[in-house]
Structure 1
Amino acid sequence: MNNIPEIKVGIVAVSRDCFPMTLSESRRQAVVASYKAKYGDIYECPVVVESEVHMQQALADVNANGCDALVVYLGNFGPETSETLLAKYFNGPVMFVAAAEETGSNLIDGRGDAYCGMLNASYNLKLRNIRAYIPEYPVGTADEVADMINEFMPIARTIVGLNNLKIISFGPRPQDFLACNAPIKQLYNLGVEIEENSELDLFEAFKNHEGDARIPEVVKSMEEELGTGNKKPEILPKLAQYELTLLDWVEAHRGSRKYVAIAGKCWPAFQTQFGCVPCYVNSRLTDRGIPVSCEVDIYGALSEFIGTVISQDTVTLLDINNTVPADMFDEDIKGKYNYTQKDTFMGFHCGNTAASKLSFCSMNFQRIMARTLPEEVTQGTLEGDIIPGDITFFRLQSTSDAKLRAYVAQGEVLPVATRSFGAIGVFAIPEMGRFYRHVLVEKNYPHHGAVAFGHFGKALYEVFKYLGVEAEEIDYNHPKALPYKTENPFA
């Protein structure tokens, strides 16, 4: 994947002037040694920050050495002003972490009081309206701090990525899909650029790619990927033409931005004019780290990009689509897995999930569209059951009145045959029925959710906090013992 950041993290130790600077310095060295042994490279700033002058020196040093993310390490109590100004002026994500005391035999000159200093640091960050990542329990030994820095890395990658992201969209949302429409103001607040285009512009670019000399090479790549699932070989040249159209558009329009996501149009006129559906192409770009959402779902594309950066893996965007029938639940799930029927549902989209995330796949026509259109113009979907395993269902969304809101729910795709069509899987999320009613319905979320393949709830939650989503607006699937605010206690 070449559409996600590779970042360099630096660490700066800070010291209060009435504490030994050498304490912070030696503790920093221990953290760096542990991190390098466990996880790889980290830049160790030689300047220990005790004053604003030191802060300027440290800032110049980490910038000169190409650091994209910064760890401010309280080896002792730390200087409140200088350490928080370092976070203010550093142009990237910042983490604050503190040293635990090392031994009961050295609690006089060897006591650092960073446990106390972290309280002052957090207070000063709030005073200055500075966002920083503070771990769940931010005080630890050298090994523990190294682990915390490693947990910071996907968060830092995501913040860097969003600050360099452009979302390219084509066409307005289709009629009756207003749920995917949301104000773009919050994109700018997040540091994301948006380029909205007419689907007529896209169609013109597509026509200009007729006979492109690269089409046979792309067709060959598709054939190799599909293998025996290549059931519609006649549509591949048109899909290859569309893929080249999108890739060339990205390169011509990324502008000053390093990373790109696309919110594409796929109906109602797309099929008749382009002569295919874009699902398979969307899946191929997403598999390369360039998420392409369906139905011009801009915040869906944003969510996919966040999931891609955090997981460093392919994601997908699915409808929270249909219930699992009672007979199917009884036959394939009940007694085999610890879920109720209301914990399960089917996640589906027409064919936008990458082949790498399907248990099997075949090129087919879009059955829903083919109910009202000639079948030949609806070809281009990639059908198959989604691979079983851990997943995280999530979404970052702007409300209609331009407030940020998010949800995160961890679960799994069950190894159960779906008996249906499209790119689809049987999903199970603990207490999904209650989550569906008191989060998805109650808070007016659209039907699209991003899916990361693995459990990434902890990192996603911290990213949403760092981005400024209020804690009460980050929802998750509550356990039975924890009711939702809107849940009827007598139900």
Structure 2
Amino acid sequence: MFNIPKVKLGIVAVSRDCFPIELSEKRRAAVVKVCTDKNLEISEIKVTVENERDVLKALEALKNEEINALVVYLGNFGPEGPETLLAKEFGGPVMFAAAAEETGSNLIGGRGDAYCGMLNASYNLALRKLSPYIPEYPVGTADEIADMIGDFKNIARILIGLSGLKIFSFGPRPYDFLACNAPIKPLYDLGVGIMENSELDLFESYNAHANDPRIPAIIEEMKQELGGGNVYPGILPKLAQYEITLLDWMENNLGAYKYAVFANKCWPAFQTQFGFVPCYVNSRLASRGIPVACETDIYGALSEYIITCATEMPATLLDINNTVPKDMYDENRDKFEGYKQNDLFMGFHCGNTPSCCMKNSAMSYQRIMHSLLEPGKEPDITRGTLEGAIRPGDITFFRLQSTADSVLRSYVAEGEIIDVDPNSFGGIGIFAIKEMGRFYRHVLIGKRYPHHGGVAFMHSGRVLFAALKMLGIGDVAFNRPASMLYEDENPFK
């Protein structure tokens, strides 16, 4: 993946001048060693911050090392003014953590009181209006701190990625399918760029790529990827031309930004004018870290990108689509063990999920569009989907969305895809999320979320939730357990 940032971690130890600086430095070195043992690369900045002059030296060292994510480590109590000034002036994602005491046999000369120092640090961070990453329990041994830093690396990748992200969109949403429309003002609040374009801009650029000399090589790549699933080889030249069109648009229009995603209108005029459906190309770009959200879903594309940064894995965007019938539930009770029927649903889209995230896949056609545009005919302009069952395993359903009045809100729900044949079409899988029925009613419906959800192919709720807090998202919903009512849930059942 080349469309997500590389996080370069640095750790700076701080020491209050009435505590031994050697204690903080020794503990910092221990954290770095454990990180190295865990294959977590981190630069040990040898400047230990006791005062504001040290802050300037540390900032210079961080700049020289090209550090873009900073761990401020309280090896002892720490000086609250200088340590928070360091966080303020650093200019990138910052984590605060503190050392636990190592042994009961050394609690006189070897006691650091960082447990206490984190309290003062938090107060001073609030005075400076800073929102660093503070783990759920931010005090630990070297081994525990290293695990916290591992989470921070993924969180930092999200924040750095968003700070350099531009979203390209093509075309407005159809009048009778407005669900994913949302104000773009909150994108500016996040520091995300947005470049809205006409479908004609895309069509003109696509036509300009006719007979591009790179097309044959892309076709060969597609053949290799599809293998035996290359059911409609005749559509590959158009798909290859379209893929090159999007990649060139990205390269030529990034401007001041480093990373990009797309949110493109893909029906109904797309098929009649371009002569194919773009789903397979969308899947290929997503597998390389460039999500392409269908139906001009700008916040869907943003959500996919956040997932990609959090996991360093491809993401997909699916409709929260249909229920699992009772007979299918009854016939597969052994595989659905632990889940109620309304904990289950089918996640579906026409064919935009990367092949690496599929259990099986093959080139197909968009059946819904086919019934509208080519009824009773052999598929032609509706070819181009990647169809099959989505692979089973852990997932996180996630979306960051603006309300109609430009307030950002989000949801995060962990679950799994069950290895049961969906017996349907498109890219589809049976999803299981505990208490999904209540989550569906009180979050997805109750908070007016659209039908698209981003899918991470692992449990990543902890990282996503923490990143959202750092971004200042006040409303982050999750699938509450049965013992925990939603605010508007009727308790009289």
Question: Is TM-score (shorter-chain normalized) higher than 0.5?
Answer: yes
Matched, 1:19 2:19: yes
Counterparts of 1:5 and 1:336, CA distance in 2: 38
Matched, 1:490 2:492: yes
Give the alignment partner of residue 461 of structure 1, picking from 438, 442, 465: 465
Q: Deviations over 1:280-310 (max 9, x none)?
A: 0000000111011010101100000011111
Equivalent residue, structure 1, for 2:434 = 430
Within-5 A mapping of 1:100-111: 100-111=100-111
- Say whether the 8 Å CA contact 2:336–2:418 is kept in structure 1: no
Structure 1's unaligned 5+ residue stretches are none
Counterparts of 2:104 and 2:356, CA distance in 1: 53
Counterparts of 2:471 and 2:484, CA distance in 1: 26
Q: State the Cα distance separating 1:175 from its structure 2 match.
A: 2.0
Q: State the Cα distance separating 1:336 from its structure 2 match.
A: 4.7
Counterparts of 1:357 and 1:416, CA distance in 2: 16
Matched, 1:150 2:150: yes
Q: Deviations over 1:313-354 (max 9, x none)?
A: 111000000001111111123675221110000000011011
Equivalent residue, structure 1, for 2:131 = 131
Equivalent residue, structure 2, for 1:211 = 211
- Say whether the 8 Å CA contact 1:334–1:340 is kept in structure 2: no
SS of residue paired to 2:176: coil
TM-score for both structures, normalised by structure 1: 0.98
Counterparts of 1:215 and 1:479, CA distance in 2: 51
Moved more, 105-114 or 339-348: 105-114
- Say whether the 8 Å CA contact 2:47–2:54 is kept in structure 1: yes
> AA paired with 1:354?
P
Q: Deviations over 1:83-132 (max 9, x none)?
A: 11111111210000001112222222221111011011111111111120
Q: Deviations over 1:129-151 (max 9, x none)?
A: 11200001000111111111112
Equivalent residue, structure 1, for 2:404 = 400
Moved more, 188-197 or 432-441: 188-197
Q: State the Cα distance separating 1:396 from its structure 2 match.
A: 0.7
Equivalent residue, structure 2, for 1:59 = 59
Counterparts of 1:26 and 1:355, CA distance in 2: 48
- Say whether the 8 Å CA contact 2:265–2:294 is kept in structure 1: yes
Counterparts of 1:127 and 1:222, CA distance in 2: 55
- Say whether the 8 Å CA contact 1:284–1:354 is kept in structure 2: yes
SS of residue paired to 1:303: helix
Equivalent residue, structure 2, for 1:479 = 481
Matched, 1:390 2:394: yes
SS of residue paired to 1:364: strand
Counterparts of 1:335 and 1:120, CA distance in 2: 50
Within-5 A mapping of 1:436-455: 436-455=440-459
Counterparts of 2:159 and 2:221, CA distance in 1: 33
Within-5 A mapping of 1:52-451: 52-333=52-333, 336-374=336-374, 375-451=379-455
Q: State the Cα distance separating 1:188 from its structure 2 match.
A: 1.3
> AA paired with 1:327?
D
- Structure 1's 56 and 485: CA in aligned 2 closer, same or farther, altered over 3 A? same
SS of residue paired to 1:161: helix
SS of residue paired to 1:430: coil
- Structure 1's 465 and 382: CA in aligned 2 closer, same or farther, altered over 3 A? same
TM-score for both structures, normalised by structure 2: 0.98
Moved more, 427-436 or 329-338: 329-338
Counterparts of 1:329 and 1:154, CA distance in 2: 37
> AA paired with 1:483?
L
Q: State the Cα distance separating 1:21 from its structure 2 match.
A: 1.4
Counterparts of 1:202 and 1:73, CA distance in 2: 49
Structure 2's unaligned 5+ residue stretches are none
Q: Deviations over 1:440-484 (max 9, x none)?
A: 0000000000001011111111111111111xx111101111111
- Say whether the 8 Å CA contact 1:39–1:150 is kept in structure 2: no
Counterparts of 2:400 and 2:350, CA distance in 1: 22
- Say whether the 8 Å CA contact 1:219–1:240 is kept in structure 2: yes
SS of residue paired to 1:222: helix
Counterparts of 2:216 and 2:337, CA distance in 1: 46
Moved more, 106-115 or 46-55: 106-115
Counterparts of 1:61 and 1:225, CA distance in 2: 45
- Say whether the 8 Å CA contact 1:410–1:457 is kept in structure 2: yes
Counterparts of 2:42 and 2:31, CA distance in 1: 10
Q: CA RMSD in A?
A: 1.1
Q: Deviations over 1:27-67 (max 9, x none)?
A: 11111111111223211111111111111110111111110
- Say whether the 8 Å CA contact 1:165–1:258 is kept in structure 2: yes
> AA paired with 1:420?
S
Q: Deviations over 1:397-452 (max 9, x none)?
A: 11111111110111111111011000000111111000000100000000000001
- Structure 1's 189 and 225: CA in aligned 2 closer, same or farther, altered over 3 A? same
Q: What percent identity do the matched residue pairs reach? A: 63
Counterparts of 1:315 and 1:431, CA distance in 2: 23
